[in-house]
Chain A
Amino acid sequence: MSRFILHSDLNNFYASVECLYNPKIRNKAVAVVGDQEKRHGIVLAKNYIAKKYGVKTGDTIWEAKQKCKEELVLVTANFDRYYYISKLVKKVYREYTNYVESFGIDEAWLDITENVKSFSEAFELAEKIRKRIISQFGLTVSIGVSYNKIFAKLGSDLKKPNATTLITPQNYKELVWKLPVSDLLYVGKATNEKLTKAGITTIGQLAQTPCRILKSMLGKNGETLHTFANGADTTPVKKFDEKEEIKSVGNSTTCPKDLKTNEEVRAVICILSESVARRLREKNLWCSTVCLWVKTDDLKSFEVMHKIDYPTNLASTISSEAYKLFKFDWNKTIRAIGVRVCGLCEKPAQYNFFNNEQTMQKKEKFETVVDGLRGRFGYNILKRGSVCASKELAELNPEHVVHSIHPTSYFKP
Chain B
Amino acid sequence: MGFMTKKYVSVLVLFDELGNKTPKQIFLEDVCYEINKVLEIKNVASLKVGGIGERFKVRINKTETFLFYEKEVEKWFVELK
Contact = CB atoms under 8 A, between A and B. Distances in A.
A24 B3 contact: yes
B26 to A, nearest CB: 22
A23 B3 contact: yes
Contact of A23 (B44, B47, B52, B72): B47
Given A20-B52, A85-B52, A138 B47 contact: yes
A84 B47 contact: no
A20 B50 contact: yes
B45 A23 contact: no
B44 A21 contact: no
B34 to A, nearest CB: 29
A21 B43 contact: no
A136 interface: yes
Contacts of A22: 50
A136 B50 contact: no
Interface string B47-75: 11111100000000000000000001000
B3 A136 contact: no
Contact of A135 (B3, B4, B44, B72): B44
User: Which of under 10, 10 to 19, 20 to 34, or 35 or more describes the interface residues of B?
Assistant: 10 to 19
Nearest to B45: A138
A88 B51 CA distance: 13
B45 A135 contact: yes
A137 B45 contact: yes
Given A81-B72, A84-B72, A23 B49 contact: yes
Contacts of A84: 72
Interface in B1-20: 3-4
Contacts of B50: 20-23
Contacts of B51: 20-21
Interface in A17-44: 20-24
A135 B48 CA distance: 13
A210 to B, nearest CB: 51
A81 B72 CA distance: 8
Contact of A137 (B3, B48, B52): B52
Contacts of A88: 52
A136 B72 contact: no
Nearest to A139: B45
A138 B70 CA distance: 14
Given A23-B3, A81-B72, A136 B48 contact: no
Nearest to A25: B50
A15 to B, nearest CB: 14
A280 B36 CA distance: 55
A88 B70 CA distance: 13
B25 to A, nearest CB: 27
B73 to A, nearest CB: 10
B52 to A, nearest CB: 5
B47 to A, nearest CB: 5
B15 to A, nearest CB: 22
Interface in B27-49: 43-49
A20 B52 CA distance: 9
Contacts of A137: 45, 52
A192 B3 CA distance: 48
A136 B47 CA distance: 10
Interface string A130-167: 00000111110000000000000000000000000000
Interface in A43-91: 81, 84-85, 88
Interface string A91-109: 0000000000000000000
A17 to B, nearest CB: 9
B49 A136 contact: no
Nearest to B49: A23
A22 B49 CA distance: 7
Nearest to B48: A23
A138 B51 CA distance: 9
21 contacts: A20-B45, A20-B47, A20-B51, A20-B52, A21-B50, A22-B50, A23-B3, A23-B47, A23-B48, A23-B49, A24-B3, A81-B72, A85-B52, A88-B52, A135-B45, A136-B43, A136-B45, A136-B52, A137-B45, A137-B52, A138-B46
Interface of B: 3-4, 43-52, 72
Given A81-B72, A84-B72, A137-B52, 15 more contacts: A20-B47, A21-B51, A22-B50, A23-B3, A23-B4, A23-B47, A23-B50, A135-B44, A135-B45, A136-B43, A136-B45, A137-B45, A138-B47, A138-B52, A139-B45
Give me the 9 closest cross-chain CB pairs, A-B, nearest first. A138-B45, A21-B50, A136-B43, A23-B50, A138-B47, A137-B45, A137-B52, A22-B50, A135-B44
